[in-house]
Structure 1
Amino acid sequence: MALSKEQYDNIMLQYSQTRDRHRHELERRRHLVYAKIPEYKELEDRIPGLGLERLRSALFAAPAKSPQDEGDSTARSTSTASESGSRSIDRSGSVSFKDQIRKVSDEKRALLMRAGFPGDYLEPQYDCPDCHDTGYIGSQKCHCLRAREIEILYDQSHLKDLIRQQNFRTLSEQWYQGEDLQRFRKAVQVSRTFINNFRQDYENLYFYGTVGTGKSFLSICIAEQILNLGAPVLYFSASALFDRISSYVFGRARAEYQSFLDDLYGCDLLIIDDLGTEMTNSFVSAQLFSLLNERHLNRKSTIISTNLSLEELQDRYSDRIFSRITSNYTVCKLTGPDIRVLKKVRRNGTYKTS
């Protein structure tokens, strides 16, 4: 689920519009300066003349004598001296031309500043000075283009709002003690290793344990880092995922269903949150196995979080699903108090059940 051609073309159109905007602004500024400082335009008009003068000097310079015009030894000496002199003239002319251009530029800058304009008022302006608003530096994507691509990936991931609150910057050990803390630290280390090796290795994660112990939180922390790598990520709660699949299948929306499957099978990372909260039946079980199997065959990483123990997973779903997860996923168990409840108590000073 990389950017579509339409999405990429839209980004390139935005770059083109940005360049047009800056070009029109530069023209507006130039007309303003010409109206306020007539001498400025006179200086600008001198620059093409300097270039033509230099070109004429180069074209009509006397050619060096050839060796055939004189004796061999004399010719070599004369030719060497002539070539040396020619190079000296060229260098002198080049330096002189550069000096003239520099002098005109300094005069233009001084005129602008005396009139109350910044010295660089008529310099080209760019939103991104590194790529000059093209999106590329040479053949490489500029950081600004990568940022735009990542922004689109964030929008597609269904994670944008969640990531603002749930990320490694807000991750805390304060809610864990003893064995719970050790398990949490191990899960964090596994998560960081998963991120560091994401581009090189194919790996899947299965976070399970009691309610409110940070399983979903860690999944979203990982998602942010993978998105920042520029990799497509999709996030669904299990109930939302299978409800959507059901709506396509039983609504006979074949084209939409195939497009959705392409995204599910092809995104670099799929996160299925709260597996087991959906209404499980043979249809859901078959869809889940198909999804996990296709992603495994495509070597696309998947993260599953659930409150189900491994025994409950085996009881609820098919043996094929249990085998696929236990053999191809790194399993992390998280235990401890319900952090959501603890946070609510801290905010309100007490916890009341409804």
Structure 2
Amino acid sequence: MDKNDFYAIFSNRQKNIHQNEDEIKDSIRKSLTISINSFLIDIFGWHFFSNYKDSYIDQIKRNIVDDVLKERKNLYIHGSVGTGKTTLLLYIMKTILNKRMQQQVENLSLDTQELIDGILFFNAVKLSNLLIDYNTDLDIIVNNTYLFIDDLGTERTEHSRFISGLEYIVDYSYRNGFPLLFITSNIPLENLFHGNLIRVADRLRSNTVILDIQGASYR
């Protein structure tokens, strides 16, 4: 075997290795995409998820999301009913999950539990019910990487258990740097200073980007 034959065989072997690796990555990507979609459907519901398009999120909002994730800041999203606040939460969650998926693909790893670990979503009414009616262990909530709270202000804000529970969650995030909080509300953050959630607003103000979504309802 001369040198040219040797290099030809070596080159073909290397090509086959890369092809096999690409096939494995593609298979992992497909499996994780199914897991991501299933996770998001469980949270947002099939109808909401199936009608979602990334094109709904303009570049300004995308840049803000990139910045808060990079700088590990909370995000308080304020806007009227139907202006796309929950849609933005879905986009943020997809961004986090897709980044994790890409890391697993590059590492040739397939771990669906690791993919969704540390991501917790609550509608504010459900969160208030857990805190008030079931006296949920708050450490189960705060020991996560990301916490999404949708529609703050629609719950029983007058109840002392809810107030103290939310204060604990926000204060824990403030002191420990996690979980990062992504909150939507029809109420501007500054208005919380005039109600029962004044301590929540005060803590949030220190490490939170406020995004005010203007415009008519899409509903």
Q: TM-score under structure 1 normalisation?
A: 0.44
Q: 1:234 to 1:166 in 2, by over 3 A?
A: farther
Q: 1:154 aligns with which of 39, 54, 58?
A: 39
Output the amino acid matched with 1:277.
T
Count of paired positions: 180
Give the corresponding residue for 1:290.
Answer: 168
Which aligned segments of 4 or more residues in structure 1 are displaced greater than 6 angstroms? Answer: none
**Is the contact made by 2:41 and 2:49 (CA closer than 8 Å) also made in structure 1?**
no
CA deviation after TM superposition for structure 1 residue 159, in Å = 3.7
Q: 1:151 to 1:219 in 2, by over 3 A?
A: closer
Output the amino acid matched with 2:184.
S
CA distance in 2, matches of 1:278, 1:159: 18
RMSD value over aligned CA atoms? 3.3
Q: 1:221 to 1:279 in 2, by over 3 A?
A: same
Q: 1:172 to 1:286 in 2, by over 3 A?
A: closer
Q: 1:322 aligns with which of 201, 209, 214?
A: 201
Q: 2:210 aligns with which of 328, 331, 347?
A: 331
CA distance in 1, matches of 2:62, 2:76: 13
Q: 1:163 to 1:152 in 2, by over 3 A?
A: closer
Give the corresponding residue for 2:80.
Answer: 210
Q: 2:128 aligns with which of 226, 242, 251?
A: 242
Q: 1:225 to 1:132 in 2, by over 3 A?
A: closer
Give the corresponding residue for 2:119.
Answer: 233
**Is the contact made by 2:80 and 2:186 (CA closer than 8 Å) also made in structure 1?**
yes
Give the corresponding residue for 1:191.
Answer: 65
CA deviation after TM superposition for structure 1 residue 311, in Å = 3.5
* Structure number with higher strand proportion: 2
Q: How does 1:253-272 map to 2 (within 5 A)?
A: 257-258=136-137, 261-272=138-149
CA deviation after TM superposition for structure 1 residue 339, in Å = 1.4
Report Cα offsets for 1:168-221 as digits up to 9, x if no partner.
Answer: 2x4166xxxxxxxxxxx64342123334x2xxx321100112222122211111
Output the amino acid matched with 1:284.
F
- Which residues of structure 1 form unaligned runs of 5+? 1-128, 174-184, 250-256, 341-354
User: Considering only CA atoms, is the larger Rg found in Structure 1 or Structure 2?
Assistant: 1
Output the amino acid matched with 1:191.
V
SS at match of 1:206: strand
Task: Percent identity, please.
Answer: 24
Q: 1:302 to 1:152 in 2, by over 3 A?
A: same
CA deviation after TM superposition for structure 1 residue 160, in Å = 6.1
SS at match of 1:279: coil
Report Cα offsets for 1:325-344 as digits up to 9, x if no partner.
Answer: 1111101111111111xxxx
CA distance in 1, matches of 2:53, 2:67: 16
SS at match of 1:295: helix
SS at match of 2:134: helix
**Is the contact made by 1:205 and 1:329 (CA closer than 8 Å) also made in structure 2?**
yes
**Is the contact made by 2:77 and 2:184 (CA closer than 8 Å) also made in structure 1?**
yes
Give the corresponding residue for 2:4.
Answer: none
**Is the contact made by 2:152 and 2:185 (CA closer than 8 Å) also made in structure 1?**
yes
Q: 1:223 to 1:151 in 2, by over 3 A?
A: closer
Larger RCO: Structure 1 or Structure 2 (Cα < 8 Å, ≥ 6 residues apart)? 2
Report Cα offsets for 1:6-63 as digits up to 9, x if no partner.
Answer: xxxxxxxxxxxxxxxxxxxxxxxxxxxxxxxxxxxxxxxxxxxxxxxxxxxxxxxxxx
Q: 1:160 to 1:193 in 2, by over 3 A?
A: farther
Q: 1:224 to 1:308 in 2, by over 3 A?
A: same
Q: 1:165 to 1:132 in 2, by over 3 A?
A: closer
**Is the contact made by 2:57 and 2:88 (CA closer than 8 Å) also made in structure 1?**
no
Q: 1:164 to 1:237 in 2, by over 3 A?
A: same
CA deviation after TM superposition for structure 1 residue 163, in Å = 3.6
Report Cα offsets for 1:265-316 as digits up to 9, x if no partner.
Answer: 1222111011000011122111111111123333221101100023421122
